[in-house]
Each structure stands twice: as C-alpha cells, then as structure tokens.
Amino acid sequence: HKPVLIQTFDRPRSFELFHEVREASSSPTPIHEMLRDPAILSSLLSHRKKPRSGSSASHTPRLATAGDDMLKPEPKKERDRDRDKDRERERDRERDRDSRTIDTASTTSTVKPRKKDRDRDRESDSATILTHVLAEEERQARHLKAVLRQTGARLEEELRRADLAESRARTAEINVSELTQRLASSEAARHQLELDATRAQEECRRWQMQADAAEREARRLQTELARSERARQDVEQAEKEARGAARRAEQTLREWKAREEGREEVRRLEVRRRYSDGRDEGFEDGRAEGYEAGHEDGYEQGRNEGYENGRSEGFDAGRLAGFEEGKKAAYSDGFQAGYAQGKKEERARALDAFDRFIESEMDHRRPRDSMTEYEVNTSHSGL
C-alpha cells in the first residue's frame, strides 16, 4: 500500500499575501492623503491655468504608488484605527473646506468685480472637475477596497478550507495507515490460523490413524481373548467331562467291586457251608476212602480258587489305586502345565500388542540402539 501524498500550501507566502490584501483593503486612499494636506488642496484651487486633465494626470502616479503601497503588510489590529483615522480625515476635510471658503471670501473681497467673477468661474470649474475626479477616485477606491475585502474573506475561507482539508487528509492518511497495519496484522493472523488449522487437521488425521490402528489391535486382542476364553471353556468342559467320566468309572468300579465282593462272600460262605456239610457228611463216610482223593481235590480246588480270588482282588485293587493316583497326578501336572503355558502365551501376546502400539505411536522414529532393556527382553522372549 502506497502512502497518500498530501499537497500543502506555502504557509508564509499565503499569510503574507493575506496580510497584504488586508492592508490594501483597510489602508487609506491617495485622495484621503491629498485631502489631509491643506497646501496641496489650496494649490489645486488657486492654480488658474492648469488644464482639466492635469488633475487626473497628477493623481495617476499617486495611484500607482498607492497600488504599490497596498501590498505592504498591515496587522489586524490597525483596521479599527484606520476607520477612526478616516473619520478624523473627513472632519478635517470639512473644516478645511470651511476655512477655504472663508479664505476665498476674504480674498475675493479685495479683488475687482470683473476679475473676481472670472476667478470665481474658473475656481468653480476647477472645483467641479476636482470634485468629479475625487468622487470617481473615491468610488474606485471604495470598489477596490470592497473587492479586496471580499477577496480577503474568500482567501481566509479558502485557507480555512485548505487547513480543514489538510487536517482531514492527514487524519485520513493516519486512518489509512492504521487500517493498513490492521489489515496486515489480520492477514498475518489469518495466515497463522490457516497454518494452525492445517497442522491441527494433520494431527487429527494422525491421531485418527493411530486410533484406528489401536481399535484394530483392540479388536484383534478381543478376538484372541474370545478364542482363549473359548479354549478355556473347552478345557473346563473337557475337565468336567473327565471328572464326570472318572466319577462314573469310580462308581462303576465300586459297584463292580461290591458285586464281586458279594459274590466272593457268597461263594466263600457256600464253600464253607458245603465244606462243612461235606466234611460232616463225608468225614465219617469218606474219611478213609476220600481222604487222599479229597485232600488232593480240596488242595487243588482251594489253591485254584484262592489264586483266582487273590489275583482278581489284587488286580481290581491295584487297578483302582493306580487309576486314582494316575488321574490325580495327570490332572495336577496337566492343569499346572496348561495354566503356565496359557498365562505365558497370553502375556507374550499382550506385550507384543503393547509394543506394536508404542511403535506405531512413536512413528518408528526411535532407533534400535535406544530400546530399553525391558523392550529387548520382551522382543527376545517373543522370539
């Protein structure tokens, strides 16, 4: 923006011209100066052979001189004094006329009648011409003064207008410069706001991308967690089924064992009963005859029955005890191993997800050498 150029007036010259115009409008005319001098007035009236045009010609240089004198500066306070002087000059002129009339009457009283008449006619002609000349000069001077007064008033008005216009122009220039500065500051602020908005949009996009990545990672972790939960539920269900199967097996084994024990007890009772009955009956009859045969048969049968019964009971008891101990040992070992393995895998997955989130947050700006010991150990454990 270019600064506004203001054209100012030459103040000393304008005020000097203003004072000259004011002095010319308020200064007395040459006719007034002449009327104030009684010698010049009496010489004009007493001169007989002077032509009519001489009066106007004699005043011409004075007018030029007066025109030159009009350009002299006059202070403002002398206007009232000049008016008072003009009034005093008018009164002096009236007194001069009265005295001149008295002098003329006294002079003509000593002259002869004819010469007196001729002088009176000439003096009347000269006075008439001089009166016309003076009236014309006075009219022109008053007209010139009026024109000069109007010109001075216009000049004052124009100067006031010029000062007002100059002050307005300066005010406008100051306002324009202030508005220019405000506009420049507002443009700079707008540009800064645009840069901030662009930076904020970029930050929002980056955070949105990170939020999307975190959301995807959270969904993946939720999926993994749901899968782990389903696996845990499957394991718990399998464990429940295994415990149910074990309970059923134990119940079946106890029922079978009770049945076998009942059968064995019935068989032993039957054997004892039959043995007692056969012993009682055959003791007498076959003691001699069947001692050998009975001894052999009883020994073989008892041995066989005892062996079978002992083997069956030992097998059942050993099988039940081995089943219980194996089940307890396998369940404890499997549960501890599965729990430790699941906890380790889930912790590794969580740490891996957290590391990926941290790496995406830092935009992969940190070099490998600046990794912490915890991150190095985590990466090694993940590998």
**CB under 8 Å, gap of 24 or more: what pairs does 298-307 form?**
305/267, 305/271
Share of the chain above pLDDT 90, in %: 16
Q: 29, 138 in Cβ contact below 8 A? A: yes
Q: 26, 78 in Cβ contact below 8 A? A: yes
Across 97-111, 254-268, 272-286, the highest mean pLDDT is recorded for 254-268
| Residue-level pLDDT at 55 | 41
- Give the integer Cα–Cα distance in Å for 72 and 21: 9
| Residue-level pLDDT at 208 | 92
Mean pLDDT of 200-217: 92
Q: Which residue has the higher pLDDT, 291 or 237?
A: 237
Mean pLDDT of 177-199: 92
| Residue-level pLDDT at 261 | 83
Q: Which residue has the higher pLDDT, 104 or 358?
A: 358
pTM to 2 decimal places: 0.27
Tell me which DSSP letter residue 383 carries: -
SS3 171: helix
Task: For the chain, give the mean pLDDT.
Answer: 71
Q: Which residue has the higher pLDDT, 221 or 294?
A: 221
Across 44-48, 83-87, 162-166, 352-356, the highest mean pLDDT is recorded for 162-166
Mean pLDDT of 8-23: 57
* Among candidate residues 11, 171, 140, 177, the one with its CA nearest the CA of residue 66: 140
Model confidence pLDDT, tens digit, residues 23-60 = 665 666 656 666 666 666 666 656 544 444 444 434 43
Cβ neighbours of 357 (radius 10 Å):
15
Share of the chain above pLDDT 70, in %: 55
Model confidence pLDDT, tens digit, residues 314-335 = 777 777 777 777 777 767 777 7
Q: Residues with Cβ < 8 Å from 170, sequence gap 6 or more?
A: 6
| Residue-level pLDDT at 115 | 57
- Give the integer Cα–Cα distance in Å for 21 and 17: 6
Amino acid at 266: V
Inform me whether the pLDDT recorded for 62 exceeds 70: no
| Residue-level pLDDT at 152 | 80
